[in-house]
Structure formats: structure tokens, C-alpha cells
Structure 1
Amino acid sequence: MTYRTIEAVIGNTSLVELVRLPDETIRARNNVILGKLEGNNPAGSVKDRAALSMVRGAEQRGRIRPGDVLIEATSGNTGIALAMVAALRGYRMVLLMPEDVSEERCRSMAAYGAEIILTPAKGGMECARDIAAQMEQEGRGIVLDQFSNPDNPLAHYEGTGPEIWRETQGRVTHFVSAMGTTGTIVGVSRFLKEQNSTVQIVGVQPDEGSRIPGIRKWADGYLPAFFEPSRIDRTESVGQATAEAAARRLAAIEGIFCGISAGGACAVAMRIAREVENATIVFVICDRGDRYLSTGAFPA
């Protein structure tokens, strides 16, 4: 018999309907809200897809081979996913991230054997990205670069998008996703728009001053290279308090224990559901809530 490895169970995550959060207004408008449970991936987030895609792509092009050192700047989930893939395919992983990321994410990366370099919190992800690029220039490893690597959105064009289309039997009318690297939203948009150009693609960004893990509003010089504004029909802002409250409600009312970015995406999906009719709205539940217990978002 041939058995599957851990990478074979990345993707094909469940799509579940919210049954208690939607209010009477949403029900009266005959709308359905569905969450894509990306926390069910083996390393716990949607980034498992991109991590495997980037490593495989680099291997196929002969850019990397087992034993090499991989370097990546991350705010958490991509680093955990890359650490997992590096472990199972034989690479050394060095991860750079701001020192204010949650303790759970640091420990998860270390558990997979990654070396962690913390960068100044005030510099944010931009500082971590600059240091990673400098390390590569010094010959200390190879940066796959989730922010410019086309294999990132490709993972969602080939996987996430087709899964949503299949699971909704083509009924999806709106797709809502937090915007970090923008790989998920760009790849899914490309696929869904090819199937039905009227599907609305909604990006979620943080309000000014909000710090929501996994959701970013980049300065022009740091915009992901593959980001295509034309693939986004609408951008909605969400505050940190709103995102955290929605994450707590998803856990306490729907039994979906998810991260804060998923709470933000859910809040926007609910916002849209109060405006439209006869819609099937899909939002991405990027990861699991246990990754954020030390942040105070889920008080005891």
C-alpha cells in the first residue's frame, strides 16, 4: 500500500455554514455565510498552501535543494508553515519576525526546528523583510519571499479557489479575505473570476492604528509584487476591537475557535450580508485561535 505524507493533507479544508451568528436581517435577505476552515491544515493555517507551493516551485526550478538554508520574514503563520515544510523536506529554516508576535507562534516555529531571529517591534514587518534581504545578499541563505513569489498566489489559484467553487457548486457570490501578503485573495480572485466574472472579491484591511495579526496595509515601497488591485472589487476596513470581538463570538456562539484576522473577515462578511440579497458569502478562517491565547484576545 501507498500511504500519504503530511504534505498530502494540505488543502481540501472544510467549508462550514454559520448557523447562529447571522441575525434576522441576514436571514430575511436569504443570505448564506460560509467559513473556509484553513486552521485544519497540518501546520494550522492557510499559509501551509503557499509554503508548500513555494518550496516545491523552487525545487523544480533548481533554485534550492535539501540541506540549503532558507530565510523568510514572517509575522507568524507563514513561518510556521515554512518551518514544517522545511522539516519534512530536509532544509534548515531561519525566520525573522517582529519581537512583539505572540509567544505561541514563536514556540510553534521552534518546535519544527527553525532558528528564530527577532527584529525590533517598532520596525514592523518592513524591518524584518529588509534584514532577510540583507542576509541573502551576504550569502547566508535563500529567501523564498512570500511577498513577491508567484507560487504564493498560485497555490490559491490551483487549490483554494477551485475548492470554493466546487463546494458551493458555483453558487458563491462574494469572497471575503484578510489582506496580508495578498496571495490568498489574488489567487482565489483569479480563479473565481474566470468561472463567473460577477463574483465580488472583498479585501479586508485594518483601520488606522489597529494591529491585527495577518492583516496589513502596506506602504507603497513594500506592496507585494504580485498584488493586482484590479482583482479586488471592494476593500473594507476593520478595527482591532471589532476583529477580536468577532473571533470571540465565533468561538462562543458557532464553536469555531479561530484567529483574529478570521474575526475581521467574518465581521466584514456579516456587514456585506446585511446589504445584499440571495448571496452566498465565503470568508477565509485563516488559522486557529489557540495561536493567540497570550495576546489577551481570549480572556479567561
Structure 2
Amino acid sequence: MTTHAPLPDLVLEPLVRAALAEDLGGSGDITTRCAVPPGAKANASLRARGAGVVSGMQVAELAFRLVDPAVEVDVKIPDGARCGPSDVLMELQGPAHGVLSAERVALNFAGRLSGIATLTAQYVERTHGTAARITCTRKTTPGLRVVEKQAVLHGGGYNHRFSLSDAILIKDNHIAAAGGIVPVLRAVKAQASHMVRVEIEVDTLEQLTEVLAEGGADVVLLDNMDTATLTEAVAMAGGRLVLEASGTMTPERVAEVAAVGVDYISAGALTHSARTLDLGLDF
């Protein structure tokens, strides 16, 4: 089980409120209002319909509480733990109206985030026996980055930048706009705060040679290199820089990339291609 401190509800509330407002629309849950007596009580279980790593329980619980604080939530399998088919992740008791009206938002968050955690865990498993760490990217769902990156942590991965203001990451278009490797590194060295780490992306060993000669970078992103080229890049760097491999990092390829000695393997697929874990709520 991968444990991490929960995010403050203050951070999560705007995301959950926006999702609830979208789902409730202008008139609220008219089906429940018309079909279910106002005083009806519910005993419900949120169950997994497949195996995976759980994430989003904190968010799902918040959805129920925001709709009706009288709904009692008991999380049985916490974020970061594994579940199997038919496992009960959460039990709910209280007003049926509140449970029914929050159901879809809670399941959407929990299923999506558990899918990310599950895929991340699959990547991480393939790095066992190496020092390589699996990390996500900024290829996240707009507005949901903070919870999707938390799901990566629940799956045993690590987080890359949360925003453009976190660190300097010089990519190929920055290099082209600045006039090359040497000019862009010199510009960054002249202007960046000493508190900010610098990463630069390279596509070739020739570019890596320029970076090593010029200095000014803390991390080098080795982009879209085959395994043989990555192996040579690791030897060239000789431990002087942190190395991150990226580009078409599928679960099938991760093991061989990790074995060459890179420090990090970043995969946008963790957040943009994760399959939702099937969950259901049963009364």
C-alpha cells in the first residue's frame, strides 16, 4: 500500500463543487426528488468491479458530504491500497436523496483516479530492481491536475511539475526560439533564480554533448531515444546530471529503459490514457 498525506479539503472543494453543479444543473436531481420520498434512508456500498489500486476515496467522500452532511461515510479501502473485484471500498448510510444525488460525481472521480493509480502501479512494478522512478507529466485533464497527480502518488509514482512556475523545463521549441542549446542555457543562467532547478530536453547525443560542455542544467530529459542511445547517454553523463527518459514510454518498454540507469521515466499516458476502474454503488 502506498500512503500519502491527504490533500486539504479546501483544495478539493472547488473541483467537487464544480462537478456537482454541472451534474445537478439548474433544477437539481429531479428524478430523485420525484421518485424517492423525502425522508427515505439509504444503506449503500461502493464496490470495485475489477482489481486495481484505489484512489479518489477522499474526493468521493467529499462529494457525498457536500450534497448532504447527514450522509455518513465509512471508507473501507483507503487511497493507495489495492482492491479486488466485489471489494467494498466505501459504505454509506443516511438520507437517500443525498446519496443518489452525489452518486455519479463520486463514482466519476473515484473511477477515474483509481484508473490512474492502477496504471501507475503497473509501470512501477516494471522498475523493480532498478533505481528508476516513474513520474507523470502535465498531460492532465484541465482543472483536475491536483487530484490526478495525487492518484499517481497513490499508484507508487512520483510527480513532475504541477505548473509552468514550478521549475524551468527547456523543451525543443524553447531551444529553437532561443537559437540553440548554448544560447538558451546562457540566457537561463543569466536570468533564473538560484532557487529554481533547470531541466533541458535533448533529442540527440550531440545535443547532450553541448549541455555537458556548457553546464547550467540540473536535469536532462532524454526524449524519444531508443534503448541503445539511452545507454550511451547514461555513460556520457557519468552521474553528473539527473537523467529523465521520455517519449513513447509504454508499460512494455519501461523495464528495459529502467535497466539502462536513468533516474526517472516520465509517461504522459499515466494521466491521459488510463482506463477508468469500474466501480458501482449498490443499495
TM range (shorter): under 0.3
Larger Rg: 2
TM-score, scaled relative to structure 2: 0.27
